[in-house]
Structure 1
Amino acid sequence: MTIEDYYADLVARGVRLADEDGRLRCAAPAGVLTDALLKEVSARKDELLAHLAERRVPLSYPQEQLWVAHRLDPAGCAYHEPVLVELEGLLQPTALRRALDAVYHRHEALRTVYPTHRGRPHQVVLEPGPCPLTVADLTDLPPEAREEAARQWVEREVRRPFDLTTGPVLRAVLLTLDAERYRLLLTRHHIAGDGWSLGLLLRDLGDAYGAARSGRPPTPPPNDVRYTDFAEWQRAVRRRDPLGTRGAERVRALRGAPVGLRLPAPEDLAPGTREAPVARTVDVRLEAGPAAGVRALADHARVTPFTVLLTAYAAVLGHCCDQDDILIGSPVAGRPRAEYEDVVGTFANLLPIRVRLDGDPSLDTLLRRVHTEVMDALEARDVPFGALVAEIAPGRRFDAEPLCQATFSLQNLPSTEVPLPGLRVTLLPAPQVAPKHALAAIATPSDGGYAVTFSVDPARVTEETARAVADGFVRVLSGAAADPGLTVADILGPAGPRPVQGHTVAVDATGAARTEPSHSDSAGATAPAGPMTPTQRRLAELWRDLLALPEDVTPDVHANFFDLGGDSIKLTQLLAWVMDAFGIDLPVRRIHALLDIASLASAIDDAVKDRDEAADATLAALVRDVEELTEEELRKRLS
């Protein structure tokens, strides 16, 4: 067995290896490091130490999805995770700075960067240093202007891009409003931590601030387990079979499911060209009475309240889209072992849940149908979402939403608190960032009821749709609680998509909306084969190199990049090469249409033509103006 295979086998068993000044340190769950295994490891110690010195720590599956999304849109803010709090009282800024530094030191994911080697990303944990903190004093402004200035500060900061190659992936801003009132904004990139991680960060920040305020060293205990351990373990476990038995079962269950939703889009939509604005939200509240009806319905059907809420959401979506088969994504914690519960990092996984609405079932029947599907999905909760996508929809692995454009989650995370001793701390509404999904619903238990937020991407789905879904959601739950034998049509009336300017808009996995005419005379038509253009030939050579095709094989110009063995990371390499080699910039939202040589070559030729025409126009204008320009102005224009 090669040392690479042997190391991966140890990691898959849960063994953690580290080089401590030339000594091999081993740690593992109880019962794993038997005497026989320790003897085996000792015999290969020198090989293992050499491998540790040379290895590059891979990204976990969730991290890889986020890295690809960032490469798609490096200036976007959809995966920025801000938390904003107001602090009232006698804040000690020095103690706060020391507390932030202590948290930054303890959690390696906060100071990890993601450079590439031969086009593939890996993790590098930077040495401990000060947490990036910006302090701004707004007290010189008139009192009435401070709130607006603070709002502008926050808005700029949460939208400021991250550089995952160099970091940082966490930024802090402290705004002083007056002598006893402050705003603290923490902004992380999602690659540095999930929702559970936020609670850990704020808990440790409170403990460290209390220690620093009291004059004690704000040093939290070190973590025995690191996020890089999880990433290596996850990759090692799934090294040869990313899906496993349960994943293969899920692939069979999900294969053939539609990966788009026919949702109404804005009338002024220009497909593939608009950048996503901040999300628009519609909030509803289920008071204690209706919430009790949800729980009673769950007891009656012997399902969970989550299943009841998800069923209502799916039923309304299917009704709105006139679809009897839909996929909804639901996030799960993804921390497979208790030892990871105190580790900051991105563990969350997305479960695609297939809901079939065919046959006009009663809500009682639909609840049981959805319950079975949810249980099946949970059985495979550890199967990486990216591995499912690679098998079910390989041509969509590079899309921002490869399978699920709608999501639903029931919040079960610990309440977010910021315990800073000596201060009154108020958690303010999170600043809005770009939406991750076309449509998302989040239900949060609150005072015996549920607060439910429906969030839409207004570039792809109308705000009216969100209001219609929210209204239908409440009506379906009320109707089902009164009589589970009713169907969705009984409650909401006949199903059907609402037209927009004579067509229906399907939100597909490309991250943009596309129109669907009522008929087509040329569906499936392809251009006749012919000699390759010069651009196509250059792309075919790169295609062959990236995909390791035999030298005597010339890729079909209409073959899909993923069908030939490409993956998301290889496609980022391809696009970077294209933009550098041809001196052009391809819009991010066009990438989904450029997965074959013919399409990509056509886009390149168009972009080069537009670039050259613009340069010619600029030169012509310069020639016309040259006689009127000073020598200094002429130099500037020429540059």
Structure 2
Amino acid sequence: MDPEENIGSRRNKHWSGHAAGRAAAKIGEHIAFTERSPIPGPAGGLECILHPASIVPAPSNLEVLIHEHNYDPADTADQAHSALVLKGRLDVVALEAALSDLVARHEALRTTYRVDANGGAVQTIHPPWTAILHVDKVDAGARPGATPAPAAGGMPVQFDPEKLPLICWSLTEIGDTEHVLRQVEHRFLHDEWSSKILKRELAHFYTIRTSAKHRPSPPDCSQFRKFCAHERHWLNSHACKKSINFWRDYLRGAGALLELRGAKHRSAKKTFGGKQRRLSLPYSNWALIGAAAERLRVTPFQLMFSVFSELVGELSGTSDFLIGTEVANRAQSEFHDTVGMIANLLPVRLRRDEGEPWRTRMAKYAGSLQQALAHEAVPLPAIMAVADLHGRRVGTPPVQVCFSFHRAPARDELPFAGLNAEAVEQVHYGSVKHELAVTVTPPAAGGDFSLVVAYNTSVYYDAIVDAVIGDYVRRLAALNEAVGR
């Protein structure tokens, strides 16, 4: 969903309705087939032989992502990198077995994706495969920390979504009591919510593998294919039709392409190169935001989103624009422990009138956000199939700027037996999905909260982004004064 100018009829066709128009259609029956082929591991070994697998329709959001990948298979923005720092006496064999336990438990980790002969996206769910953990050692004095190189440990720099594995791991030993577990995966596999589940369950499986006592395995969870079936059924429901009608009315006549003052000229060729800025803000700032939100009778998310929307409106010079926000899309409790790409992106419509009081504008932004969130289950492709986005270039994605909340703490408690584990979140490797994306992670237990800003360097100069961040942080710090006006 990255922005672009006209980049060719192939991609434009997808955004103008080819993929989006399929979102609400009923897709055919499941097909079983047998394939026998080796799966190369990250170190070049053989992990398993495929046996009977299932082909099922891909969910709506992934259908668009698969078409995007086929437009540019070398797109490194399709990768996600993360790492765990493990301190203590590590049992490497048990860790490798625990990774295989994760693969066996979650179908999403052994699923491949392709476009079928009719142009529809499908996913092939394979039997469990055995994880092979490539291990290397470094001098303890080198202290590389938890930041992996793109191809560290023999890990691939590019994935083919039609071939396993789409996730792999390597382990770096730093002396005898410190290890860095690196993970590289294709972003088709799962969302941020799922990554929390995987880290927690990896710790649990490792503890089971290293314990002499019997420990229960995690309870059964709903698989991603069940969510996909639920989504397809819901897309044909009366409730979905009501939500589709909301989005049709909500986006009718929406503003044109959002361009912030100081941006570079967009090239005709789409690029994914980008940078990231990370800020850690003190809890005292969060307390001020919470107090201001309470006085305005909105949530901290609504208030921070509204302040950002006001800033974007000023910088774009437009009175009608869209800002995207990512939602977990897990209203049903049965999918709370499901691993997969379930998250959805919603285009939130903002109308700005400088003649209105500041509090009135904040209330309007928060209200529009709340309206969109009430219909979060509609997949973005289905929204785009009915959207009337006035003045937009053919083939342009629905949003260029995003603002999202990650409600789960950035650093979870990970109970690895005998180890101290610390997650290193969202390791950045120079590629981005959106022109400008801000992600806020609320604090845990009175700690700092984080602000992560990712931006496309072909669209924004570093100095412009730094100025935007600085202005936004200053506005947050002055909220109580603004609320009092």
Give distance in 1, aligned partners of 2:189 and 2:164: 11
**Which one-letter code corresponds to 2:432 in the other structure?**
P
1:283 corresponding residue in structure 2: 279
Show CA shifts across 1:100-144 (max 9, x none).
Answer: 11111000110011233314221211111202x3413224xx555
Cα distance, 1:212 vs. partner? 0.9
Counterpart CA distance in 2 for 1:98 and 1:297 is 49
Provide the residue aligned with 2:403 in structure 1.
408
- The 3 A distance-change label for structure 1 pair 158 and 456 is farther
Say whether residues 1:320 and 2:315 are aligned partners: yes
Q: In structure 1, what is the Cα distance between the partners aligned to 2:141 and 2:196?
A: 33
Q: From the two aligned structures, give the one with the greater strand fraction.
A: 2
Deviations along 1:361-407, one digit per CA (max 9) or x if unpaired, are 222101211122122112211111111112215998995x6111111
In structure 1, distance between residues paired with 2:477 and 2:270: 38
Q: Which residue matches 2:71?
A: 72
CA spacing shift, 1:155–1:377, aligned 2, 3 Å: farther
Per mean C-alpha deviation after superposition, the further-off stretch among 408-417 and 379-388 is 408-417
| Mapping for residues 276-355 of structure 1, pairs under 5 Å | 276-281=272-277, 283=279, 285=281, 287-355=282-350
Q: Check conservation: 1:199, 1:417, Cα contact below 8 A.
A: no
Q: Look up the match of 1:125.
A: 125
Alpha carbons 1:329, 1:353 under 8 Å: kept: yes
> Quick check: 1:439 aligned with 2:422?
no
Moved more, 290-299 or 88-97: 290-299
Distance 1:485 1:130 in 2: 60
Q: Is the 8 A contact 2:114 2:121 kept in 1?
A: yes
| Counterpart contact for 2:432–2:455, Cα < 8 Å | yes
Contact 1:60/1:234 (8 A) holds in 2: yes
Partner Cα distance (1:174, 1:293) in 2: 42
Higher relative contact order (Cα pairs below 8 Å, separated by 6+ residues): 2
**What SS is found at the alignment partner of 1:114?**
strand
Identity %: 26
Equivalent residue pairs, number: 434
> Does 2:198 correspond to 1:178?
no
Q: 1:239 to 1:213 in 2, by over 3 A?
A: same
Q: Does the 8 Å CA contact 1:326/1:355 hold for their aligned counterparts? A: yes
Equivalent runs, 1:171-210 vs 2, <5 Å = 171-210=168-207
Contact 1:331 1:349 in 2 (8 A): yes
5+ long unaligned stretches in structure 2: 1-25, 33-51
Compare 209-218 and 226-235 and name the one that shifted more.
209-218
Q: Distance in 2 between matches of 1:343 and 1:291?
A: 31
In structure 2, give the amino acid aligned to 1:421. A
Q: Deviations over 1:549-601 (max 9, x none)?
A: xxxxxxxxxxxxxxxxxxxxxxxxxxxxxxxxxxxxxxxxxxxxxxxxxxxxx
Distance 1:320 1:126, change over 3 A: same
SS in structure 1 at match of 2:77: coil
Look up the match of 2:166: 169
- How far the C-alpha of 1:308 sits from its partner, in A, is 1.0
Work out whether residues 153 and 171 of structure 2, in 8 Å CA contact, stay in contact via their aligned partners in 1: no
- Give the 3-state SS of the residue equivalent to 2:338 in structure 1: coil
2-structure distance, mates of 1:222, 1:106: 10
The CA deviation at 1:93 is 0.9
Task: Kindly report the root-mean-square deviation, in angstroms, between the aligned alpha carbons of the 2 structures.
Answer: 3.3
Aligned AA (1:409): S
1:6-155 maps to which residues of 2 (within 5 A)? 56-118=55-117, 119-131=119-131, 133-139=132-138, 143-145=140-142, 147=144, 151-152=148-149
Q: 1:352 to 1:156 in 2, by over 3 A?
A: farther
> 2:128, 2:164 → 1: CA distance?
13
Give 1:360 shift. 3.3
Aligned residue type for 1:365: T
Give me the TM-score of the superposition, normalised by structure 2: 0.80
Unmatched segments (≥5 aa) in structure 1: 1-10, 20-52, 487-639
CA distance in 1, matches of 2:128, 2:215: 14
Report the equivalent of 1:272.
268
Aligned residue runs from structure 1 range 420-439, under 5 A: 420-428=416-424, 430-433=426-429, 434-439=431-436
Query: Structure 1 residue 478: deviation in Å?
Result: 3.8
CA distance in 2, matches of 1:329, 1:143: 44
**Separation in 1, partners of 2:259, 2:481:** 30
- Contact kept in structure 1, 2:203 and 2:416, CA below 8 Å: yes
Q: What amino acid maps onto 2:188 in structure 1?
A: I
Per the TM alignment, residue 155 of structure 1 is displaced from its structure 2 partner at its CA by 6.2
Following the alignment from structure 2 to structure 1, what is the Cα–Cα distance between the partners of residues 467 and 261? 11
- Equivalent residues of 2:85, 2:422 under 8 A apart: yes
Which one of the candidate residues 258, 261, 275 is aligned to 2:258?
261
Does the alignment pair 1:453 with 2:452? yes
Cα distance, 1:58 vs. partner?
Answer: 0.8
> Using a 3 Å threshold, how does the CA distance of structure 1 residues 89 and 448 change in structure 2: closer, same or farther?
closer
Q: Residue 227 of structure 2 aligns with which residue?
A: 230
Within the candidate set 357, 360, 363, 1:362 is matched to 357
Task: Report if aligned partners of 2:134, 2:154 keep a CA contact under 8 Å in 1.
Answer: no
**Structure number having the greater helix percentage:** 1
Q: Is the 8 A contact 2:274 2:455 kept in 1?
A: no
Cα distance, 1:93–1:126 mapped onto 2, change above 3 Å: same
- Tell me the amino acid that sits aligned with residue 432 of structure 1: H
CA distance in 2, matches of 1:310, 1:71: 33
Q: Is the 8 A contact 2:324 2:401 kept in 1?
A: yes
Distance of aligned partners of 1:159 and 1:443 in 2 relative to their CA distance in 1, 3 Å threshold = farther
In the alignment, the residues of structure 2 paired with residue 370 and residue 270 of structure 1 have an alpha-carbon distance, to the nearest angstrom, of 28
Q: Which secondary structure state, in structure 1, belongs to the residue aligned with residue 372 of structure 2?
A: helix
The equivalent residue for 2:42 is none
Alignment partners' CA distance in 2, 1:156 and 1:277? 24
Contact preservation (8 Å) 2:134, 2:153: no
Aligned equivalents of 1:408, 1:89: Cα separation in 2: 38
1:472 is matched by which residue type in structure 2?
D
Look up the equivalent residue of 2:470 and give its one-letter code: D
